[in-house]
Amino acid sequence: MDELKIVWEKTIYRTFTVDFDPLSQEVRCECNKFESTEVDRVPSCYVLPRWSKNIMHKHTYIKSSHDVARTDEGHNLFRRLCLEFYNVAQEFITCDEEAAILRSALWDAKTKLTDYCTRMHLTTVAAT
């Protein structure tokens, strides 16, 4: 944590170390603000969703060391599509106009895929 104070027209800058003990879930700081204001819990509004163990990811296609032996076809297809997109973006994104064209094409593709998935879902529901 950084603190900036102005005392008698002089700027004083101090850096404090904040330590968190995951076992006891206690926070300690050199400035003692946690202790002096008696904070024993971090309000949920300060806990970002990405820090939660319970976050639901839309896709889990990010490669990790745990996936070394993974041969999931969906994962492989995702990686190939990412590579294709990367190659197109690398070749044609040299200005804002090119970026806008690619962005527009992606949104058009998303709309078409959303419509396709909706039709497929309706067809599946009707068949059952």
Convert the pLDDT of each residue in 46-80 to its tens digit. 677 766 666 655 555 555 555 555 557 777 888 88
CA 105 – CA 53 distance, rounded (Å): 35
Range of the domain at 82: 57-92
In terms of domains, do 87 and 99 share one? no
In terms of domains, do 36 and 64 share one? no
Q: Number of folded domains in the chain?
A: 3
In terms of domains, do 45 and 62 share one? no
In terms of domains, do 85 and 103 share one? no
In terms of domains, do 6 and 45 share one? yes
The residue among 127 and 68 whose pLDDT is bigger is 127
In terms of domains, do 77 and 115 share one? no
pLDDT score at 47: 74
| 8 Å CB contact between 3 and 16 | yes
In terms of domains, do 46 and 17 share one? yes
In terms of domains, do 88 and 122 share one? no
pTM of the model: 0.42
Residue 25 zone, left/alpha/beta (φ > 0; ψ -120 to 50; rest): left
In terms of domains, do 10 and 39 share one? yes
Closest CA to 20 of 48, 44, 39: 39
In terms of domains, do 77 and 107 share one? no
Burial track 37-55 (b if 16+ CB lie within 10 A, e otherwise): eeeeeeeeeeeeeeeeeee
Whether the predicted pLDDT of 23 surpasses 60? yes
Query: pLDDT (tens digit, 9 = 90+) per residue, 85-98?
Result: 988 988 888 888 99
